[in-house]
Amino acid sequence: QGAGKKKLKEAVLTVPALASQRQRQALLNAAEIAGIPKARLIHEISAAAIQRSLDIEAPMPAESDEDLEPREGDSPKEKLRKIKAKRAKQDGKKKGSAFKMTR
């Protein structure tokens, strides 16, 4: 039970990549004893990769150049994202015009 006093229904537990089947089963048994009915096991490396992918923010596609202008109410993080997106869009226009395909 967490701070909200809600009962835990399921959990994801990480195990070392070299953990034996016996160790994995022991971890599942311990989770069941602790009152976690649906425990899933994943490798620590996989968990780190998933966390990393959640930490990375993909820039949102902008509909127009006005959407890329930082506004006064934007957070510093949002302003930086808009500036980077605007530069990337400008760089794309420069590169795109230099490489025209011909038949």
User: pLDDT class for 24, splitting at 50, 70, 90?
Assistant: very high
Q: Which long-range CB contacts under 8 A does 80-83 form with residues at least 24 apart?
A: 81/57
| Cα–Cα distance for residue pair 74/80, rounded to 1 Å | 10
Per-residue pLDDT, 60: 61
By DSSP bridging, strand 10-15 and strand 38-43 are parallel
pLDDT tens for 52-85 read 888 876 666 655 666 677 778 888 888 788 788 8
pTM passes above 0.85 = no
Q: How many CA atoms lie within 13 A of 56 on its CB side?
A: 7
